[in-house]
Structure 1
Amino acid sequence: MDVDTMVGTELRRLRRRRPEVTGSVLAGTDGLLISSDLPATDATHLAALAAASFGLGHRVADTVRRGAFRESVVRTDAGAVVTYPAGRNALLTLVATPEADLEVLHADARAVASRAGSALDRSTARVGATPVPQAHATLAVRTPMAGLPRRAPHHTWRRPPV
């Protein structure tokens, strides 16, 4: 079974086992969509937002030195959105109803994330994901004005002498 089929099967099985899960997205840590089981929401936007949420959560976890990032939970009036790391380069994001028992869901979702992440990590095909950078690595030096071409000085109109 190829990786795409295996990942799609895992996402569909999770939704069948957990009726409180209304959709799922597997995305790269760079925000690119890998696989989706979302019926209505734009999966590409959710993939990008999940990557941003993961990046922030990963950085916070590293800064406070309380262990590795495990999940990001956003609770809303209409349910919850939970993001889990899936292997080295992917994220599993679930959209759940308000009735969802997140503690029970976490165990099942982490198992799915682990299986899908392992399959993606073993895969030789690139899935569009890039590794997470070191949290305390030096930031790139940006000089936005250095790359711009120099313009000739702007001359203003002057009134001719009378």
Structure 2
Amino acid sequence: MAAEAEVLDELHSLRARLPRLTGALAASVDGLVLAQDIRGVQPEGLAALTATAQGVALRLTDATGQGDFRELLVRGAHGYVATYAAGSSAVLTLVAEGRVNVGRLHLEGRRSGNRIGELLRAAAHQPDRTPGQPPSTPTATGGPLPVRTPSRRADPTRE
């Protein structure tokens, strides 16, 4: 994935902003790890559990008429697990100590979820390119600039 390094940078930045954060993981809504900065927990297992919890949360918000999924907070005896929507195809899961400022956790988690969603959306709209080919420059409408190729005139005297 083209955005994997940028998503990982966002996770590192998030952990630097929230010292009581003990782990961060970005995963697809299907439960696949996109990027992770977490220790002491199996990232693949956490991504699968996150996808399951997000699926239940989606059903819960739908059944109660509360709209699209935004976030989920679980409080345990030793801390918190918070999951935030990261665009339409991913989620951000944060693991924090019990002494974390929950308001700040939400503020930073929401910001990072939005940022990760933007990174993934931009990566999905980037055309694939062959190695060594420079990236295309986007136009004002967001698409790549057209490429002009010289054409040969149909001149029977030229070969």
Task: Kindly report which structure 2 residues correspond to 1:67-106, keeping only aligned pairs within 5 A, or say none.
Answer: 67-106=67-106
Task: Kindly report which structure 2 residues correspond to 1:24-103, keeping only aligned pairs within 5 A, or say none.
Answer: 24-103=24-103
Distance 1:124 1:70 in 2: 21
| Partner residue, 2:19 | 19
- Root mean square deviation of aligned Cα: 1.2
Per-residue deviation, 1:118: 1.1
The runs of 5 or more residues in structure 1 that have no matched partner are: 126-162
Distance 1:3 1:93 in 2: 17
TM-score by length of 1: 0.73
Which amino acid is 1:50 matched to?
T
**Could you list the per-position Cα deviations for residues 42-63 of structure 1 after superposition, in whole angstroms to 9, with x for gaps in the alignment?**
0100000000000000111011
**Could you list the per-position Cα deviations for residues 69-126 of structure 1 after superposition, in whole angstroms to 9, with x for gaps in the alignment?**
221111111101000110110000000000012122111111111011111122138x
Give the SS at the match of 2:98: coil
Distance 2:118 2:124 in 1: 12
Per-residue deviation, 1:67: 2.5
Per-residue deviation, 1:68: 2.2
Instruction: List structure 1 segments (4+ residues) > 3 angstroms apart after TM superposition.
Output: none
Which amino acid is 1:124 matched to?
A
Of structures 1 and 2, the one scoring higher in RCO (CA 8 A, sep 6+) is 1
Radius of gyration: which is bigger? Answer: 1
Give the SS at the match of 2:23: strand
Q: May I ask how many residue pairs the two structures share in their alignment?
A: 124
Distance 1:111 1:82 in 2: 13
Which amino acid is 2:30 matched to?
D
Which amino acid is 2:54 matched to?
F
Distance 1:41 1:81 in 2: 12
The runs of 5 or more residues in structure 2 that have no matched partner are: 126-159
Distance 2:13 2:4 in 1: 14
